[in-house]
Amino acid sequence: MTETGKTATLSFDGKSFELPMHSPTAGPDVIDIRKLYADAGVFTYDPGFTSTASCDSTITYIDGGAGILLHRGYPIDQLAAKSHYLEVCYLLLYGELPTAAQLEDFETRVTRHTMIHEQMHNFFRGFRRDAHPMATMVGVVGAMSAFYHDSTDIADPWQREVASIRLVAKMPTIAAMAYKYSIGQPFVYPRNDLDYAANFLHMCFSVPAEKYEVNPILSRAMDRIFTLHADHEQNASTSTVRLASSSGANPFACIAAGIACLWGPAHGGANQACLEMLKEIGSVDRIPEFIARAKDKDDPFRLMGFGHRVYKNFDPRAKVMKQSADEVLDLLGIEDNPILQVAKELEKQALEDPYFAEKKLFPNVDFYSGIILEAMGFPTSMFTPIFALSRTVGWISQWKEMIGDPQMKIGRPRQLYLGETERDYVDVEDR
């Protein structure tokens, strides 16, 4: 961030205040209002912080209008096509793509930390069997702070590094255990001979009674889901992690806070909401009815998985995810799955309809990831936990960046107060 030499002038009540401006390496200039209250005695009002930069960052850049998503400068479609998840993790955590030796070392460190403390199994058994896996993950990830005391001092760079590796390594194990617990099957331990995505699928779908071979097409699709969800700039859950971290809180507790925020249907639950919509449609012959409802501005029904709050043109992740969806559906077949039949036909009809093209309502990454996970056999309740384990590396990267920022201070948003002004207390007998 560099000063532009330009200033913005704020004028009110006959007074003017000059505010410095800064230029990013990409994106619009920003007006620095840090001294606004001290100098002018006023706050800015920005519900949702949609026009406010809460930090500076070198990790991810998004231009929603142009459909651009860059991680450390690399386009997401190139990373998804040519790289794999752990390499992208290294890029997000350390700023550059690794050499072959660096990548091997990183993969080894992650692989050697995939097991969780045996006593943590007791935490799972404290939940009801029908508990949502996200509820389980919030509790178990927060509980990691009680088991790994040697990586909770955020002032120690080495402890930050250990905490980062542990979270990336153990999150698939925790998510898979949450799934196994919810369906009443025994926990499956991680295997060091499998790659990151294949290991997760093995922990989810294998059972002690028989051998389970992970299909490489499914493993590659899973890896792409992880990669395409690794980070997404200052979204709600990432901002939650940063805000929690600004107080100096335990790193495991901060990531648990991010998981809690991600749980919402407007954020991480979008692909679950998409599959629930497909189930509501139910059959291919009902698609025209629901498309007509989606066009009716007076009807509350909306097509989930189409369009995106950030991407006003197209979601750059969707093209890669569609390719994976096609590969998975070709492998598994969809003849006996009415939900996937509805998804394929809905995609076809929506893309052919001029209304959706004019409104730029194209299928997004949530639409295709939901189709893939449904085809693999995951229940919709597991969609958001898989999102959470994918996004963990983004949260950690943002956390590490913030902790190392000399400008870091505890978050303290302001408010526009509209309540009662000062009044005197009245004794109960006089009310």
Which residues are marked as active site? 308, 366
> 368 is written with which tokens?
């295709």
What's 207's DSSP letter? B
Q: What pairs with residue 62 in β-bridges?
A: 69
> Do residues 194 and 283 make contact, with C-beta atoms less than 8 angstroms apart?
no
Question: Residue 9 pairs with which residues in a beta bridge?
Answer: 18
Helix (H) or strand (E) holding 71: strand 68-71
Q: Is the dihedral of CA 307, 261, 323, 313 positive or negative?
A: positive
Tokens coding 9: 């002038």
Task: From residue 245, give the alpha-carbon distance in Å to each of 83, 168, 176, 198, 241.
Answer: 30, 17, 26, 32, 6
141 touches 252 (CB < 8 A) = yes
Structure token pair of residue 287: 């698609």
Residue 273's nearest CA partner among 383, 143, 144 is: 383
Alpha carbon of residue 375 to chain centroid:
21
Which strands make up the sheet holding 60-63, listed edge to edge? 60-63, 68-71, 74-75
Which amino acid, one-letter code, is at 300?
P
Helix (H) / strand (E) element for 217: namely: helix 216-228
Give bridge partners of residue 11 from the DSSP assignment: 16
**What does DSSP assign to residue 105?**
H
Which runs of consecutive H residues, i.e. helices, occur in 27-125? 36-40, 76-82, 85-94, 100-111, 121-125
Distance CA 48, CA 25 (A): 24
Identity (one letter) of the amino acid at 388? A
Place of tokens 């999150």: 171
Burial of 17 (0-12, 13-18, 19+ CB in 10 A): middle
